Chains A and B, each alone.
Chain A
Amino acid sequence: MSKPRREQLLVWHREMVRLRAFEEAVARGHRDGQLPGLLHLAMGGEAVTTGLFNCLTETDRVYSAHRPHQHFVASGVDPRLVMAELAGRETGLCHGRAGTMHLMSDRVVMGTGIVGGTISLAVGHAVTQDDGDVVVALFGDGAVQTGTFHESMNLAALWKVPVLFLCENNGWAEFSSRDEHTTVGGVVRYGELYNIPAREVDGTDVEAVVEAIHAMLGPIREGQGPALLECHIARMRSHYEGDFREQTSDGDPLLTIEATLTEGLGVDAAQLEGVREDELARGIELLESVLAQEPEPDPADDRRFLYAAGDA
């Protein structure tokens, strides 16, 4: 680790808070009736997301799923572009044609509204990657029960392509717990079946996440083929914003990192609280500014982008 532990953790803490604050602002916008759409928020996944991007290079690629906002923001996309997209504005990341689940950009290629729908794309994309570059397939534990998860693991293992299958296991798939979806004990066990390295890690602990991803990416970058990492995280919100069921789980990664900083590393709790207040205020400011300033698409452009530029 290049920075001393305390400094590094403070950097990661701020990043995790920034991601949390973005989603908090989205939640606020939804609650106030200002942000449309079927919104699935990612509170609880901040340690995995922050840890992941700490381990990636600019030429690595990531495929996300249906809780994608934080992945895009963490990858370096201007949060204003993401917020404007969620608000359905012409100046959004995808000119308002994508919305919440279907965001697309360069480093994080895309999210999806189809559970499991991007896993095989990550495998194909990896075929085209230059030596040393990887593709990360992010998905939840609900996707593990789809056929395409298994087809994609099998394809990647056969083709020996540089893919890290990264499952963010929050214990819930839509409105039912993992126990109600499968009799299989752990996602990590599929690694053995497909003959690829597999590990599981506490996804609320950013240091553990970074250690695990770093260790797993090494052999992938060297051309040894895919690997599977199961990160146990919490789902801190209901399946979608506005759902009447409060189906959540415990394990706030911000509390974990703040406990480490205050209890072991002598950081003042008030300093961390200041970071939270600061980022939350920025999130709300961003939301309000986007809603006030960014223009909506013109219905006269309804067919724009249907075909690639230059094609009929």
Chain B
Amino acid sequence: MSLGDNVVQAARRALDEAMKADERIYVLGEDVVAGGPFTLTRGLADSYGTRRVLNTPICEYSFMGAGIGIALGGGRPFIDLMFDDFITVASDQLFNNAAKISFMSGGRYSVPLVVWTIAGAGTRWGAHHSQHLEGWLAQVPGLKVLAPSSPAMAGASVTAAFQESDPVVVVADRSLLQSRDVLPGDDRSPSPWSPRIVRPGDDVTLLTSGRLVHLALEAVRDLEISVEVIDLQALAPLDLDPVLASLERTSRLAILHDEAAPGGLSSMLARAIYDAGFWHLDAPISVLVSPGTPVPAAATLEDAYMISAEDIVRAVRDLVT
């Protein structure tokens, strides 16, 4: 990470450094030699050759499988899945093989697979290129899921994922790809595996990730209510200790996540916090997600679909009244 990198540049820098240090790393995906649609892999084929930077046809199921095979053969695959939506096509390999092989093999094998994908609405790209499906991934035993919220954390997530022996999916937020905005704490090299407090507060805890961290900070900046904003970062496995510690002080929690109602990830978080932190709470947990429909294409509909700053302010006010 160098000052001024955007999310894609920071991730590419981390990937490049990892490939330089470890020749077992292979990059696979559609158009990775040409750099991919978001230029994540630009230049890697020139540096490391097409033996390690492997273009694939459009076959998400089988290049995910091939990545798992590379891992079982002793390599360290990095797969550019391009869009979160395409997880549907590759899900059998992710769910049934990558996530289960350590367990099914009784520890004989592990699958050190890194998958990079992007998720999110706001582009008018419609229902097949805008969804957040990482809530599914977070519910599969054996998968690890990171959702970086800034350039620094995108780079740190890629670096951390390569240090794992288990499969890690890094879900980058579509609307942050070109963002250079830094978050408080970015300069302290925080671990991506634990939630981090990006704004301290006393009245309400707001738990979120990705683009919503930025939106939440903006929404509550001038509010008369003191809001603590926590960037969840790791969607799986969950580390809720920092959230519970925050609730001990604030007693009120809003969970915001970009996903369609009823909200698998948000519901899972709420349930886990009710289990572990019920007696800290003075009010029911407020959960804010998008409507339970596909992501619409029309601008008016898509804008209404996405969680807005006004939605966040309303949720926070409702919690304290």
Q: Looking at the complex, which one of A94, A114, A304 makes contact with B108 (CB distance below 8 Å)? A: A94
Residue in A closest to B28 when the chains form the complex, CB atoms: A124
CB contacts (< 8 Å) of A244 on chain B: these are: none
Interface string of B68-110 (1 = CB under 8 A from A): 1111111101000000000000001100110011111111111
Q: How far is the CB of B236 from chain A (nearest CB, A)?
A: 11
Instruction: Pick the residue among A154, A305, A310 that contacts B106 (CB under 8 A).
Output: A305
Which of B74, B77, B93, B165 contacts A120 (CB under 8 A)?
A: B93
Contact of A122 among B64, B69, B112 (CB under 8 A): B69
Q: Does B97 contact A121, Cβ atoms closer than 8 Å?
A: yes
| Segment touching A, from B51-59, B171-179, B268-276 | B51-59
* CB–CB A121/B65 < 8 A: yes
Residue A282 CB within 8 A of the other chain: no
Within the assembled complex, what's the spacing in Å between the Cα atoms of A170 and B173?
A: 48
Q: Which residues of chain A in 124-175 are interfacial with respect to chain B, using CB atoms and an 8 Å cutoff?
A: 124-129, 135, 147-148, 151-152, 154-155, 158-159
Quick check: A104 and B109 within 8 Å, CB to CB?
yes
Taking a contact as CB atoms under 8 Å apart, the answer to whether B165 and A125 are in contact is no
**Which residues on the A side are within 8 Å of B73 (C-beta)?**
61, 124-129
The verdict on A152 contacting B102 (CB below 8 Å), with A94-B108, A128-B73, A310-B165 known, is no
> Given A114-B92, A154-B57, A155-B59, A121–B104 Cβ distance below 8 Å?
no
Question: In the complex, which residue of chain A has the Cβ closest to the Cβ of B193?
Answer: A312
Query: Taking the nearest CB of chain A, how far is it from the CB of B90, in angstroms?
Result: 10
CA distance A310 to B165 in the complex (A): 8
A121-B97, A125-B69, A127-B73 known; A305 and B103 CB under 8 Å? Answer: yes
Report the separation of the CA atoms of residues A95 and B103 in the bound assembly, to the nearest whole angstrom. Answer: 9
A300 proximal to B (CB < 8 A): no
A237 to B166, CA, bound (A): 38
A109 touches B72 (CB 8 A): yes
Which interface residue of B59, B75, B93, B104 has the most chain A CB atoms within 10 A?
B104
Taking each of B100, B101, B102, B106, which has the highest tally of chain A beta carbons within 10 Å of its own beta carbon? B106
Does B308 have its Cβ within 8 Å of any Cβ on chain A? no
Q: Kindly state whether residue A180 has any CB partner on chain B within 8 Å.
A: no
Chain A residues positioned under 8 Å from B107 (CB to CB) = 95, 304-305, 308-309
Report how far A166 CA is from B96 CA in the complex, Å.
Answer: 23
- Inter-chain contacts of A122 with B (CB < 8 A): 69
Q: Assess whether B57 is in contact with A158, with CB atoms less than 8 Å apart.
A: yes
Q: Mark A84-115, 1 if CB is under 8 A from B, else 0.
A: 00000000111111100010111001101110
Q: How distant is the Cα of A306 from the Cα of B166 in the complex, in angstroms? A: 9
A155-B66, A305-B102, A311-B166 as given contacts; A127 in contact with B26, CB under 8 Å = yes
The distance from the CB of A295 to the nearest CB of chain B, in whole angstroms, is 14
**Provided the pairs A94-B106, A120-B62, A127-B26 are in contact, do residues A155 and B57 lie with their beta carbons within 8 angstroms?**
yes
Whole-angstrom distance between the Cβ of B108 and the nearest chain A Cβ? 6
CB distance from B98 to the nearest CB of A (A): 10
Query: Are A306 and B63 closer than 8 Å at their CB atoms?
Result: no
- The answer to whether the Cβ of A187 comes within 8 Å of any Cβ in the partner chain is no
Interface of B is mostly: mixed
Cβ of B125 within 8 Å of any chain A Cβ, yes or no, is no
Which residue of the partner chain, among A105, A152, A310, contacts B62 with CB atoms under 8 Å?
A152
- Please tell me if the beta carbons of B103 and A306 are within 8 angstroms of each other in the complex: yes
Q: For residue B96, which residues in chain A have a CB less than 8 angstroms away from its CB?
A: 112-114, 117
Confirm or deny: A43 has a beta carbon within 8 angstroms of a beta carbon on chain B.
no
Q: Are A119 and B65 in contact (CB under 8 A)?
A: yes
- Measured between beta carbons, the chain B residues less than 8 angstroms from A312 are 193, 237
Q: Is the CB of B69 within 8 A of A308?
A: no
Q: Which of A238-267 contact B (CB under 8 A)?
A: none
Restricting to B97-138, which residues have a CB under 8 Å from any CB of A?
A: 97, 100-110, 112
**Residues in B neighbouring A155, C-beta threshold 8 A:** 56-57, 59, 62-63, 66
For residue B142, CB closer than 8 A to chain A, the reply is yes
A120 to B106, Cβ gap below 8 A?
no
Per a CB cutoff under 8 Å, which of A121, A154, A307 touches B72?
A121
Taken together as a complex, chains A and B put the C-alpha atoms of A106 and B64 apart, in Å, by 21
Task: For B50, give the chain A residue with the smallest CB separation.
Answer: A159
> Considering only CB atoms, which chain B residue lies closest to A297 in the complex?
B106
Please pick, from B63, B68, B104, B110, the residue contacting A98 in the complex, using a CB distance under 8 A.
B104
Provide the A46-68 mask, 1 if CB < 8 A to any CB of B, else 0. Answer: 00000000000000010100000
The CA-CA distance from A93 to B105 in the complex, in Å, is 8
Q: Which 3 A-B residue pairings sit nearest by Cβ, starting from the closest? A: A124-B69, A120-B65, A128-B73
13 contacts between A and B (CB under 8 A): A97-B105, A117-B92, A120-B62, A124-B72, A124-B77, A151-B59, A305-B102, A305-B107, A306-B102, A307-B166, A308-B102, A308-B165, A309-B165
- Which A residues are within 8 Å of any B CB, using their own CB? 61, 63, 92-98, 102, 104-106, 109-110, 112-114, 117-129, 135, 147-148, 151-152, 154-155, 158-159, 304-312
Q: What would 18 more interface pairs be, CB under 8 Å, given A124-B72, A305-B107? A: A97-B103, A97-B106, A102-B100, A113-B96, A114-B96, A117-B96, A118-B65, A121-B72, A123-B69, A124-B67, A127-B70, A129-B73, A147-B61, A158-B57, A307-B102, A308-B107, A308-B164, A309-B110
